[in-house]
Amino acid sequence: MHDERRRIEERVERLHNQRIKPAIHAAAVPFEVSAWQAPGEPVPFEEAAAAAYEPFAMDTPWGPPWGTTWFRMRGRVPAEFAGRRVEAVIDLGFTGDWPGNQAEALVHLVDGTPLKAVNPLNQYVAIANPAAGGEVIDYLVEAASNPDILANDFAAPTPLGDVLTAGDKPLYTFRRADIAVLDEEVFHLDLDVQVLRELMLELGEHDPRRHEIMHALDHAMDLLDLDDIPGSAAAVRAALKPALSKPAHASAHRISGVGHAHIDSAWLWPIRETKRKTSRTFSNVTSLADEYEEFVFACSQAQQYEWVRDNYPQVWARIQESVKKGQWAPVGGMWVESDGNLPGGEAVARQFVHGKRFFMEHFGVETKGVWLPDSFGYNAAYPQIAKLAGNEWFLTQKISWNQTNKFPHHTFWWEGIDGTRIFTHFPPVDTYNARFSGAEMSRAVRNYAEKGGATRSLAPFGWGDGGGGPTREIMERARRLRDLEGSPRVEVEHPDAFFAKARAEYEDAPVWVGELYLELHRATYTSQARTKQGNRRSEHKLREAELWATTAALHAPGYRYPHEKLDRLWKTVLLHQFHDILPGSSIAWVHREAEAEYARVARELEALTAEAVTALGGGTARVFNTSPYDRAEVVRDSAGTPVYVEVPASGSAPLTAAAEAPRPVTVDGRVIDNGLVRVEIAEDGTLSSVYDLRAHREVLVGQGNLLRLHTDLPNYWDAWDVDKHYKNRYTDLLDPSEITVVDADPLLGSVRITRPFGNGSTITQTVTVRAGSPRIDFETDIDWHEAEKFLKAGFPVDIRAAHSSAEIQFGHVQRPTHTNTTWEAARFEVPGHRWVHLAEPGYGVAVINDSTYGHDVSRTVRDDGGTTTTVRLSLVRAPRVPDPGADQGRHRFTYSLLPGASIGDAVAAGYALNLPLRVADAAGAPEPVVSVSGEGLTIEAVKLADDASGDVVVRLYESRGGRAQGVLRTGFPLADAQVTDLLERPLETADTEGDTVAVALRPFQILTLRLRRSGTGQ
């Protein structure tokens, strides 16, 4: 037989695209359209309905960036359309085929009822099926003219990312607003041809099935009347039916399709636009559920549900009904799909607490799994946190983006730092926006790493990132692929059903231990430094407010614990941990608003803490220590005079000097000495020496606190990525304009160093050593005006460290300092929280910070045989896409060097730097709410129970990586104690004696205790 593949394939492609597709809505009449441009921000439906509309013609430009235009569309269904399926078809002037980053609209009836959204891949709104003819149609359409920030493939900065800079030139040209007949036979023919053609192209050229489909398509096209596509469609479909009816092989891979619409809570659009995106997508989804009874839609992010509940009650009611019918599956159990590395441990816990409670309260559903397809790596504490929140499975997708190493599993047990394992799946389809194309189905089978051990995978389907969701076309593909020879079997089902089946057949799945590190998007640990600082400080201010509010609730008559305010503030912080806000990968508008929100949160939390402290009584200056460790530290009184005080963990003490004064600090030119460490500052402003007087050893090898400015232009994704070549070009900042002694007090010594550099930027650092502490602080003030640069601060230390330890949520991870394999080499930039620790047997050094996350660690062997291990903190970047002004302006933060530090010292110092001692008037001296004895036992949160019972909830963990035993003592009469999950539900009774609870934890174990007070009646 002659090889006619090219002729047939090209014939089928042309007839499908140029003749069949255009005939789906061939019969149409135009709407009468008028328009009203809303001034400024979006307006309620009622205001738009009352506005004055002006006639609007097709092919007219409309829509300034971030504007809202309301269109009124009126028409009548022609009599000749009677008995047929009639729809409105609307093309706002869509560009490309991505629904999330351009024009979108929500169609309403004139009474305000939302019907359905339109976007590039979903342009219809159902009118009648069958139509009677003569129906009057009257719609109000809210159209958003969101700009395409991704235009030019991120090649250049754009001013469109903020309403303040975007201008007012119309972005779109309205193309179509018709009442049209959906020719159902042609619609189905279109899908028949698509599915068969795509399957054919994925099969091997020697596969008989490929040739069978090819000839079936060729024969069918002979039956297509080019002058009457609708009239011949049935005959063409009949000719294709045998090819579509052949069942899949018995061993065919099984794909569980789960409807999905990934909606970034902010990214290339502001939060206000996401609120509208949810209504559009959820309207589409509930409409689709009415058409396809087998449809199941999985949706995470309780915050987005709350937005719909508050702003679109009719859509909310439809969601509730879909949940009852089993077609809508709340998943994930988190407030938002947060970043996987940067939120603190308690914040990750609260993501689950607030998310799961929302779903239980409003739907009676307890979610069973973690749904995080798009975050940029996942910390190694997740398995334990997820299980403690009642989860059974974990789903992610993003690791498929790895730049260097292919992740070896798709279904596996993920083991966290404490030993907890959770059943995890990583879909081999390699997208969370699947559409069941032939290429996707082929890739899922080809890519699947568990062949021979397991037979099934999951595919989240539907248009996403900016929403859109599943479409009827995708559902039709799923139906055709349910049992089709040459393709994997596709079944649409609940993700819980998939995970149950997957675990049942693969209980002995392989184990992955430790973090799921994404070998890409490493710059998200640093970009938009002020956003990250706002998060870090909010987390610690929330801890502080909860602790002192609990103290006041227990000891101050008449004080009421601010449950509602704290709940609201927590949710604000959790929202901004979304995986495109906290990582710094959103447009300027998002980060401008985030900084304002963090400032508001700080003000409110300061007021709540002050109110709680004041409730304890006024009159005497006291020092309050929110840290879980006792502190002996220098603070300043109201006159600014330094005072050396001792304050118990989670307690307070009078603002009076400690009984035993530490050795005084001396400042001699550029040398600061406090008897524990001696710091020498060179003429170039770096540290020439840090000598540990206790250990009698020099800490540094080379220039300490070396500020290095790198050229930083990644291959792609500017705000997200830092590529390895950034290290090859740099400037060391070694020309200070001023070095000045600013403090020479017996309790503290400080030297200020000012460095102008680059494009008008300045760094001012105050190096401070305090009495009684080996910690060296670098208080940093940067006026930053660089572009495409990356600033780091490096400390080369004389330590042969086999690994570095970096704090993560409820513990720490160890990472090798060598690069023996591509896995280690790929970790050239890594995340950490409050500290990084380097050690050799007998000696360690920690670098502490109050707001940075990214760092790198490397080591070299010197000519003398010694080893230099260098840790460098990533301070600030200057990407230009998607925010051309990212990180510009003022930054203030502190980092510290702690010589002679153990892991325990690093933990305590991390808390201390991030939780400064608070000086306030308070007459009372109440005992700490709780205190704990036992090395490694660390209290993370103290609060009142969320159910307003008055019970005290304490969360603690083992922080050093070893077993810990000890006693927790309450500062109030204890009736009993329960071990609970994160949602404060009892798991078992704790071992108590009097006002104490016995505690025994495995390495990095998290423990939540619910403490009932005597006399509360609970």
Cα distance between residue 547 and residue 564, in whole Å: 16
Tell me the CB-side half-sphere exposure of residue 572, using CA atoms within 13 A.
Answer: 22
Amino acid at 264: D
What are the angstrom distances between the C-alpha of 791 and each of 622, 704, 733, 796, 888? 39, 15, 10, 16, 13
Burial of 241 (0-12, 13-18, 19+ CB in 10 A): exposed
Decide if 620 contacts 922 (C-beta within 8 A). Answer: yes
With contact defined as beta carbons under 8 Å apart, do 772 and 634 qualify? Answer: yes
Q: Which residue type occupies 872?
A: R
- Do residues 569 and 343 lie in contact, with contact meaning Cβ atoms separated by under 8 Å? no
| Per-residue DSSP letter, 466 | B
Three-class secondary structure of residue 43 per DSSP: coil
Strand, coil or helix: what is 376?
coil
130 prior amide bond cis, ω within 30: yes
Beta strands 730-732 and 854-861 are unpaired
The secondary element (H helix, E strand) that includes residue 760 is none
Active site residues: 374
Interstrand relation of 456-461 and 254-259 (parallel, antiparallel or unpaired)? parallel
Taking the C-alpha atoms of residue 349 and residue 344, their distance in angstroms, rounded to an integer, is: 9
DSSP letter for 159, please: G
Q: Are 648 and 730 in contact (CB under 8 A)?
A: no
Rounded to the nearest 10°, the torsion over CA 151, 402, 583, 904 is -170
Q: Cα separation of 705 and 684, whole Å?
A: 11
Residue 281 DSSP SS3 = helix
* Nearest one of 577, 474, 437 to 261, comparing CA atoms: 474
- Dig out the tokens for 618 from the structure: 């006024």
The Cα 232–Cα 104 span in angstroms is 35
SS3 content of the chain, % helix, strand, coil (to 5): 30, 30, 40
Decide if 270 contacts 234 (C-beta within 8 A): no
CB 874, CB 790: distance < 8 Å: yes
Q: 863 exposed, middle or buried (CB, 10 Å; 0-12, 13-18, 19+)? A: exposed
Token pair, residue 356, equals 């799961």
Q: List Cβ neighbours of 459 (8 Å cut-off, separation of 6 or more).
A: 255, 256, 257, 258, 427, 429, 434, 436, 440, 444, 490
Give the β-pairing of 621-624 and 918-921.
antiparallel
Amino acid at 156: A
Per-residue b or e along 817-832, where b marks 16 or more CB atoms closer than 10 Å to that residue's CB: beeeeeeeebbbbbbb
The β-bridge partners of 989 are 978
Place of tokens 């702690």: 898
Tokens of 501: 């089946």
**What angle (nearest 5°) sits at the alpha carbon of residue 973, between those of residues 972 and 977?**
100
Q: What is the DSSP letter of 639?
A: T
| Run of H or E including 667 | strand 666-668
Pairing state between β 328-330 and 297-299? parallel
Nearest by Cα to 561 from 550, 572, 570 = 550
